[in-house]
Structure 1
Amino acid sequence: MLEINKIRQDFPILNRQVNGKPLVYFDNAATSQTPQQVIDVIVDYYSNYNANIHRGVHTLSQEATDKYEAARKTIQNHFNAKYAYEIILTSGTTHSINLIASGFASLLNEKDELLVSALEHHSNIVPWQMLCEKTGATLKVIPMTNEGELDMQAYTNLLSKSTKLVFVNHISNALGTINPIETIIEKAHQVGAAVLIDGAQACPHIKPDVQALDVDFYVTSAHKMCGPTGVGMLYGKEEWLKKLPPYQGGGEMIDQVTFEKTTYAGLPHKFEAGTPNICGGIAFGAAIDYMNTIDFNNIANYEHKLLEYGTKRLLEIEGLKIYGTSKNKTSVISFNLDGIHPYDVGTLLDKMGIAVRTGHHCTQPIMDFYKIPGTVRASFAFYNTKEEIDALVTAVKKAKMMLS
């Protein structure tokens, strides 16, 4: 049982007003808010031990290094990676995906096939299209249904010995659909394909176990998990990370450098060129610690109640349609009002202090599937309340009246 009022006190931004109204923040699928406990860690870093890591003999550098590597260990334990060096700290999900796509350029040829789902964010589409252009490999799409679910029979039919890599999101950012990634991974492995799971939308809601999933690569971003922007994680099985070449060249990722030849450092440093987002990495660990104090089972149960309540209340509004009606979904509601552009609805909701996302949510193929320009997306977090959903419903009704 969550003590919501106590939890909300951890988030300073929830006390502010927007356009003279109390802020109702329903854009959590884009970026979650940051608790004071994580903000304090960021301030502490810059106030007390701001220094570069891994290469300094002085006290500040050693303190920063210890904290940064402790955060890597926290992330390892949270996702149950076998080794800490299987956790590569990146600038976020997009960076992580591009790192893997770049590495596979040396492993693919024109006879190979890659499978992408129709539910993907652009960051899990475009890098693979670029990879196919480089290598001549073919990109095939796992189709979706009207409910916003993947057609699993079609997926099975698409798999073949030519399939080298499958990439699917754990949860759709646009529709909230929770994909059956266990089945997707198992079937891909049966034909010898590797699997990358985009967990950016899943990790705020559930606690993935990468060993239990037997996934080859899993990626996410800290700013979806109460952490800062500009930092994220790539988990990769040791065997794959050793097989892939470095993504970037520079400092930190080297073993020996001469003008004749360079040798590369071992994991994880092979993929971490240059000075990292040190503070961000440390704060990422702190954000994971914070969410674990609340407990992900509690988070999932509470957010499911918000989803059920929000769905019921919004469907009371005549002419409102929800996109993404999978039985297995998380706390995201994408909707439109009949005959009204989502941008206009979102603009009016902002005037009433309610933050939602409008547009195609970097999932243009999904919007094309439904033949719509975009949706209004309300995405709930564990610090939101039913009273805030009531405020959303009232505001949507008012917007409908003003725009009709």
Structure 2
Amino acid sequence: MTALTDLTLDVAAVRADFPILDREVHGKPLIYLDNAATSQTPSAVIESLSDYYRRYNANIHRGLHTLADEATAAYEGARTKIQAHLNATSAREIVMTRGTTEAINLVANSWGRANLAAGDEVIVSLMEHHSNIVPWQLLERTLGIVIRVIPVDERGVLDLEAYRGMLNERTRLVCVNHVSNALGTVNPVAEIIREAHAADARVLIDGAQAVPHQSVDVQSLDADFYVFSGHKVYGPLGIGALYAKASILESMPPWQGGGEMISRVSFDRGTEFAGIPHRFEAGTPAVAEAIGLGAALDWVNAIGIERLAAWEQWLLGHATERLERIDGLRIIGTAPEKASVASFVVDGAHAQDIGLLIDQLGVAIRTGHHCAQPVLAHFGLDATCRASFAVYNTPEEIDAFADALEHVLGMLR
């Protein structure tokens, strides 16, 4: 584990950016360890939302007045910030969505319906979030595609030999998460992409759990599609993005129809669609939320993603050591490369009971199947407890969490 003194991060200053961390829950100081579900929001993001509604709330792109110009500039500025954060070649490659789920559904219903046919194969992994399974199952029902599943071992590591054996002339698309939300496993996506491209297949990477915790370079990865959500990277709910190579986006038909995604509508001569990325952004977008996401990325970059990641890795190591001392506790997901997620079960105690009781002590963790039922079933489970860490968490909070957990287990046993 990295020595704590080697990490140049002023955690007290970081925590001061988050007003919610000052509150109490059931008379106890809040210890928020549910960051894989939703991270908390710094003041800079909250202020960006307030500033928009107080100073220049207007619909974008179609207005000629000052407020519309300012709102448009801020919205498109957020797109440029996302482009820079992912190192996309152009802002035209960034489509604003409501989040990861909508982005995957966009790819499935636009690229998928235009390019997949009966018998074509889509490869997913066993550890996918439901949002990267169900859209492809819907195409399986309607188009007759074949879904193949990459297995995982008992550590929660993908079986890459099995994956390579699946690739063939019928493989059209490979869909894997960069980081597992249920296990914390960091997948070797660069290798997965390289192998898929050698088989002439496209690749979609679910980056919802990666973008908050590590640097992502879509050009270096050579990803065809990369998706993420704002609310997991200190931004607002209801906003996210799809990155796709410009050449792919230009070949994709619109998914939803309405205002903004057209250049001309006529009953006589038909409809002409807007260019990318606006072709995929029908209707009034979440303007304030997009601006807030841009502010969140600014906040992350001001800290430095490498420093942020190093702190979270230290926290994960400290938490793992504490949890391993607890009698009857088993960590689910022990891959050599992990993000800051610790999922676990405890003999003689149900996850839901642990989650409810530990909340009474001010500790917020996630319990359940984490929208990843297939991989939990692989471990013979229907639920785990999941503690997930962010840059504002502290070793003292982890110690208090472990103490609270032991207290709760004493009650349940």
What is the match of residue 302 of structure 1? 311
SS in 1 for 2:297: helix
The whole-number CA distance in structure 2 between the counterparts of 1:23 and 1:268 is 41
SS in 1 for 2:114: coil
SS in 2 for 1:266: coil
SS in 2 for 1:88: strand
SS in 1 for 2:345: strand
Query: Quick check: 1:92–1:233 contact (8 Å CA) kept in 2?
Result: yes
Please state if 1:70 is matched with 2:77.
yes
What is the match of residue 382 of structure 1? 391
The whole-number CA distance in structure 2 between the counterparts of 1:160 and 1:339 is 45
The whole-number CA distance in structure 2 between the counterparts of 1:39 and 1:106 is 40
Residues 98-129 of structure 1: per-residue CA shift (max 9 Å, x gap): 00000111211112100000010000000011
**Cα distance, 1:373 vs structure 2:** 1.8
**Cα distance, 1:365 vs structure 2:** 0.5
SS in 1 for 2:241: strand
The whole-number CA distance in structure 2 between the counterparts of 1:362 and 1:245 is 29
Please state if 1:84 is matched with 2:91.
yes
Please state if 1:275 is matched with 2:284.
yes
> Aligned ranges for residues 158-173 of structure 1 at < 5 Å?
158-173=166-181
**Cα distance, 1:372 vs structure 2:** 1.3
Query: Quick check: 1:168–1:197 contact (8 Å CA) kept in 2?
Result: yes
What is the match of residue 312 of structure 1? 321
Query: Quick check: 1:105–1:134 contact (8 Å CA) kept in 2?
Result: no
Residues 178-218 of structure 1: per-residue CA shift (max 9 Å, x gap): 00000000000001100000000001101200001000000
The whole-number CA distance in structure 2 between the counterparts of 1:59 and 1:333 is 49
Residues 126-161 of structure 1: per-residue CA shift (max 9 Å, x gap): 001101212111000000110001000000000011
Structure 1 residue runs of 4 or more that deviate by more than 2 Å after TM superposition:
none
Structure 2: runs of 5 or more not aligned? 1-7
Please state if 1:190 is matched with 2:192.
no
Aligned CA RMSD, in angstroms, stands at: 0.6
What is the match of residue 349 of structure 1? 358
Residues 70-116 of structure 1: per-residue CA shift (max 9 Å, x gap): 11111111111001010000000000000000011121111210000
The whole-number CA distance in structure 1 between the counterparts of 2:352 and 2:140 is 34
The total of aligned residue pairs comes to 404
> Aligned ranges for residues 386-401 of structure 1 at < 5 Å?
386-401=395-410
What is the match of residue 229 of structure 1? 237
Please state if 1:174 is matched with 2:190.
no
**Cα distance, 1:315 vs structure 2:** 0.7
The whole-number CA distance in structure 2 between the counterparts of 1:308 and 1:66 is 43
SS in 1 for 2:226: strand
Tell me the TM-score normalised to structure 2 length.
Answer: 0.97
SS in 2 for 1:53: coil
**Cα distance, 1:367 vs structure 2:** 1.3
**Cα distance, 1:331 vs structure 2:** 0.6
Structure 1: runs of 5 or more not aligned? none
**Cα distance, 1:340 vs structure 2:** 1.1
The whole-number CA distance in structure 2 between the counterparts of 1:244 and 1:46 is 34
SS in 2 for 1:377: strand
The whole-number CA distance in structure 2 between the counterparts of 1:38 and 1:108 is 40
Tell me the TM-score normalised to structure 1 length.
Answer: 0.99
What is the match of residue 7 of structure 1? 14
